[in-house]
């Protein structure tokens, strides 16, 4: 059974349409520059087509690419991907999907981020390992588009956006994972203005493969004599193959793949070790015309990648959840506890009737919907900034949300996506552990998300160390004001009153904790800040998810009034209300607990000496 090409991918079209058009109302800005070419109908059609393509052509390959993985040929220094994945990449381009997110200038559709991210959810959910290649290519192309010289844009953008060449980001080195400033790759300027690149990069996603004629690496390296640390880094365009004057692909540029990692999951994503300039023949081109701007340039791609990482976790968690729902509807096993306790006679039931299964399904449902709301809210704010126009006050306000939500999307979604996949396995029971069913792969594939593009601790430092203080706390303040407004509107409400109040209280705990951080800082208790950072990120994400779920529930409740109970949409809206309630009543209480723990200032983890841990070494 596991050898067949069966689609297990289940998209949640209705929830995505709800968020885009009913909750975040992207139609209010569709049709306006820069999205003038993009109407609501276009968005709906694209989403519909993406679902068809991903469930027919992509989801069928997910377990196949997991089985096959990538193969490295040490002799040739090349990597081959599973053959059907190569074919999929061709179909993807034939169908023009690569153009969705590309700028109009280079023949693309320049879709709003909210729409393109929704569509990315389908691609990533259907086959995450494969979807990474196109996501990274787009990010690399966008770096050149934004920062490149005219010649660089003219050379690379059409080919990368156009699907001919692909791209990567090359940051990590063996000694420098989280600490990019210790990068050792070097660049020496040649007489012709190019640079000779030398160094080793590891963990490079899509670093080598056979789905394209050329791979354009965007690599950080230090120019001879530049400062230490991150500020001395520059970003270089380093093609795998040299490019002839006519734009055709020439000889090797001395970028050799020395190996690929054997990983827990995303096995068809080639995670490469790349040696640059082993033969002193690797040429790099400074991105743009300024040296030592590498880190700030790379951060554009890094921020996109962080959002993409969260979305990737969400996409698989959502399909894991929906597969669990489908399984629970069909698997017959036992009687519900309440029926046994009351001596009710009857046959065994489908497990969706078991109380604990419902609890798990609803926990998955509300988390997935909260996570998706967080992601699409972020995207819609970015789009609104673009519509407001660069540099405008409105735009900077909108971008404030994007900045605040980025670490939440990266870290909370990757942590909780893993939890959701764990619950999905639990719903399947023993079948969840075997490869005939899709959930164990989701669990393995998701685990990478908390690690790459900056570990989740690094995200929490970004939140606590930078975003909280930005503009004197303006980013949190505007989010807190939004939440307070919703609470005030509904706290006397018959339907949502108690839940609105609970949200208001949780918000109080969250803002109280931001005050705690200030106190820690003022009192010189600096160690308490990183000790609490990951938990605080979770608190803020939970409050924000609860807020978005409640906002959605209010909308759903209104819409239900005009529908009959037999209407399919009625069921969907009722489900949204249950999601909000379950999250607020079962997940949100953790916010208060975390606030109390943080306020208690426990320093045991600091007080314990290194040698109080067992004296084991690494192998």
In a 10 Å sphere around its CB, with 0-12 CB exposed, 13-18 middle and 19+ buried, how is residue 176 labelled?
middle
Does 426 participate in binding its own copies (rule CB under 8 A)?
A: yes
Among 440, 462, 538, 542, binds its own copies (CB under 8 A): 440
Where in 175-204 is the site for its own copies (CB under 8 A)? 175-179, 182, 203
- Does 599 bind its own copies (CB under 8 A)? Our answer is no
148-177: which residues touch its own copies (CB under 8 A)?
Answer: 172, 175-177
Task: Closer to its own copies by CB, 96 or 465: give it.
Answer: 465
Residue 453 among the catalytic residues: yes
d(CA 7, CA 56): 7
Taking the complex as a whole, the smallest distance from the CB of residue 277 to its own copies amounts, in Å, to 24
306 touching its own copies, by CB under 8 A: no
Which of 30, 144, 302, 529 forms a contact with its own copies (CB under 8 A)? 529
Q: How many CA atoms lie within 13 A of 417 on its CB side?
A: 32
From 99, 90, 88, select the one nearest 58 (Cα to Cα). Answer: 88
395 binds its own copies (CB under 8 A): no
534: contact with its own copies by CB under 8 A: yes
Supply the DSSP string of 41-91, one letter for each residue: HHHHHHHHHHHHHIIIIIGGGHHHHHHH--EEETTTTEEE--HHHHHHHHH
Query: Which three-class secondary structure state does DSSP give residue 430?
Result: helix
Q: How far is the CB of 390 from its own copies (least distance, A)?
A: 32
Residue 199 host element (H or E): strand 195-205
Q: Please say whether the beta carbons of 482 and 23 come within 8 A.
A: no
Three-class secondary structure assignment of 481-506: HHHHHHHHHHCCCCCCHHHHHHHHHH
The piece of 4-12, 156-164, 189-197, 295-303 that touches its own copies (CB under 8 A) is: 4-12
**288: its two tokens:** 């743009």
DSSP letter at 176 equals B
Cα–Cα distance for residue pair 571/357, rounded to 1 Å: 19
Contact between 72 and its own copies by CB under 8 A: the answer reads no
Site residues (CB under 8 A) for its own copies, limited to 485-524: 521, 524
Burial of 165 (0-12, 13-18, 19+ CB in 10 A): buried
- Closest contact distance (angstroms) between CB of 368 and its own copies is 10
| Closer of 89 and 172 to its own copies (Cβ) | 172
With CB under 8 A as the contact rule, the residue among 129, 204, 220, 461 that binds its own copies is 461
Size of the site for its own copies (CB under 8 A): 118
Residue 589 found at the interface with its own copies (CB under 8 A): yes
| Interface positions, 228-267, toward its own copies (CB under 8 A) | 261-265
Q: How far apart, in whole angstroms, are the C-alpha atoms of residue 320 and residue 442?
A: 7
Q: Of 453, 538, 542, 551, which is the active-site residue?
A: 453
When asked if residue 561 is in the footprint of its own copies (CB under 8 A), the reply is: no
Stretch that binds its own copies, among 21-29, 386-394, 432-440, 503-511 (CB under 8 A): 432-440
* Residue 542 is a binding residue for its own copies (CB under 8 A): no
Out of 32, 559, 571, 599, the only residue in the binding site for its own copies (CB under 8 A) is: 571
Residue closer to its own copies, measured from CB, 291 or 491: 491
Figure out which of the listed residues 75, 430, 481, 561 binds its own copies, where binding follows CB under 8 A.
430
b/e per residue 474-495 (b: at least 16 CB within 10 A): ebbebbbeebbebbeebbeeee
| Residue 48 touching its own copies (CB under 8 A) | no
Would you name the residues annotated as active-site residues?
Answer: 453
């Amino acid at each position: 059974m596991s050898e067949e090409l069966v689609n297990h991918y289940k998209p949640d079209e209705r929830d995505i349409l709800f968020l885009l058009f009913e909750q975040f109302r992207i139609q209010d800005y569709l049709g306006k520059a820069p999205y003038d070419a993009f109407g609501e109908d276009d968005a709906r059609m694209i989403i519909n087509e993406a679902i068809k393509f991903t469930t027919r052509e992509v989801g069928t390959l997910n377990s196949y690419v997991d089985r096959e993985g990538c193969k490295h040929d040490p002799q040739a220094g090349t990597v081959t991907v599973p053959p059907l994945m190569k074919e999929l990449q061709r179909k993807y381009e034939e169908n023009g999907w690569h153009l969705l997110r590309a700028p109009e200038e280079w023949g693309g559709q320049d879709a709003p981020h909210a729409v393109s991210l929704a569509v990315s959810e389908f691609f990533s959910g259907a086959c995450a390992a494969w979807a990474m290649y196109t996501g990274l290519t787009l990010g690399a192309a966008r770096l050149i588009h934004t920062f490149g010289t005219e010649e660089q844009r003219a050379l690379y953008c059409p080919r990368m956006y156009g699907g001919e060449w692909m791209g990567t980001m090359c940051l990590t080195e063996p000694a420098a994972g989280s600490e990019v400033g210790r990068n050792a790759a070097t660049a020496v300027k040649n007489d012709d203005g190019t640079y000779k690149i030398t160094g080793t990069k590891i963990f490079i996603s899509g670093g080598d493969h056979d789905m394209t004629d050329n791979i354009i690496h965007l690599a950080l390296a230090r120019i001879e004599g530049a400062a230490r640390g991150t500020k001395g880094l520059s970003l270089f365009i380093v093609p795998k193959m040299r490019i002839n004057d006519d734009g055709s692909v020439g000889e090797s540029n001395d970028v050799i793949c020395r190996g690929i990692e054997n990983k827990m999951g995303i096995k068809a994503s080639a995670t490469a070790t790349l040696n640059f300039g082993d033969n002193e023949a690797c040429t790099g081109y400074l991105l743009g015309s300024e040296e030592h701007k590498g880190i700030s340039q790379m951060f554009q791609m890094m921020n996109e990648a962080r959002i993409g990482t969260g979305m990737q976790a969400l996409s698989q968690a959502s399909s894991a959840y929906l597969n669990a729902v489908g399984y629970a509807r069909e698997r017959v096993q036992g009687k519900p506890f309440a029926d046994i306790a009351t001596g009710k006679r009857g046959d065994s039931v489908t497990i969706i009737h078991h109380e604990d299964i419902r609890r798990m399904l609803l926990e998955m449902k509300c988390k997935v919907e909260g996570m998706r709301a967080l992601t699409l809210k972020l995207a819609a704010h970015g789009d609104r900034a673009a519509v407001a126009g660069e540099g405008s006050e409105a735009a900077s306000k909108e971008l404030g949300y994007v900045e605040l939500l980025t670490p939440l999307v990266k870290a909370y979604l990757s942590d909780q996506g893993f939890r959701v996949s764990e619950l999905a396995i639990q719903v399947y029971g023993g079948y969840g552990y075997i490869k005939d069913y899709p959930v164990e792969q989701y669990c393995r594939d998701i685990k990478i998300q908390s690690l790459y593009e900056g570990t989740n601790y690094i995200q929490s430092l970004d939140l606590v160390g930078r975003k909280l203080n930005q503009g004197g706390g303006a980013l949190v303040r505007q989010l807190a004001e939004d939440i307070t407004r919703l609470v005030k509107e509904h706290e006397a409400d018959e339907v949502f009153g108690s839940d609105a109040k609970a949200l208001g209280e949780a918000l109080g705990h969250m803002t109280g904790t931001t005050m705690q951080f200030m106190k820690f800082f003022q009192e010189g208790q600096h160690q308490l800040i990183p000790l609490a950072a990951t938990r605080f990120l979770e608190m803020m994400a939970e409050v924000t998810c609860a807020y978005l779920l409640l906002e959605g529930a209010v909308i759903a409740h209104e819409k239900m009034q005009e529908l009959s109970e037999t209407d399919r949409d009625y069921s969907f809206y009722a489900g949204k209300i249950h999601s909000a309630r379950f999250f607020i009543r079962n997940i949100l209480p953790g916010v208060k607990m975390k606030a109390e723990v943080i306020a208690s200032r426990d320093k045991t983890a600091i007080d314990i000496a290194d040698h109080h841990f067992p004296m084991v070494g690494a192998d």
